[in-house]
Amino acid sequence: MQPADEALGPIPEEWSPNHILATVETRNNPPMYGAIKYFGGKPSHVWSQYIEAYSQPSEVILDPFCGQGIAVGEAVRLGRRAVGFDLQPSATFFTSQIFNKVDEQVLFAALQELQESIGNDINNLYVTRNRSFGVDMDYAVLSNTQVKELLEERGLTKSGDGQGIRARLTEFDAAEGD
């Protein structure tokens, strides 16, 4: 009995990925592929090169582990038909969302409505108040020495895991009436 390679003969040069691998460089994927992260996924330009090299327009590309949908998306973009499936339901959901058209005017109108109705409430969650001066702070920059002095001034010491500071600050805030 012969090994499969010998029985089938040499692999034709046009099937070799060497011409593609030589041109692979790191690039960022387009934003539409960023909704879900799959480690080990190949960049979109790599899929594009493989699809262009090994298929013709209107042929079907099968991706049985579609993950974040890059192969399916690139196949469709390049004029191929595509079938993708995955064991992970979120993978097939996100892959299908790549192809949904969004009416930008409707989207922006909804975002504007949210901004007007709850924007201030959300922004207020990110305000830090300086109690000493009674003003809202834009930022604070403290050195390690200043942090230590601030803690000592309030009778706090830093414990090894940081939990002591959090617990004591909570007690301090409660005593201050916050």
pTM of the model: 0.52
Band the pLDDT of 178: cuts 50, 70, 90.
Answer: very low
139 with 86, same domain: the answer is no
Which domain covers residue 175, as residue numbers?
A: 130-178
Q: What is the pLDDT of residue 78?
A: 97
- DSSP-derived 3-state class of residue 82: strand
Which of 54, 82, 97 finishes a domain? 97
CB atoms within 10 A of CB 175: 8
Domain endpoint, select from 50, 73, 97:
97
Tell me the average pLDDT of the chain: 78
**Best CA proximity match to 38, nearest among 107, 91, 116, 104:** 91
Residue 106 covered by a domain: no
* Res 79: pLDDT: 97
Q: Which residues contact 128 (CB under 8 A, 6 or more apart)?
A: 136, 137, 140
Contact 68, 94 (CB under 8 A): yes
| 46 occurs within a structural domain | yes
Among residues 140, 139, 156, 137, which one has the least CA distance to residue 148?
156
Residue 8 sits in the same domain as residue 66: yes
| Residue count (the chain) | 178
Q: Give the pLDDT confidence of 108-128 residue by residue, as tens digits.
A: 999 999 999 999 888 888 877
Q: For residue 127, how many C-alpha atoms fall within 13 Å in the half-sphere facing its CB?
A: 12
Amino acid, res. 170: T
- 20-53, pLDDT tens digit by residue? 655 555 567 787 777 677 777 788 888 998 899 8
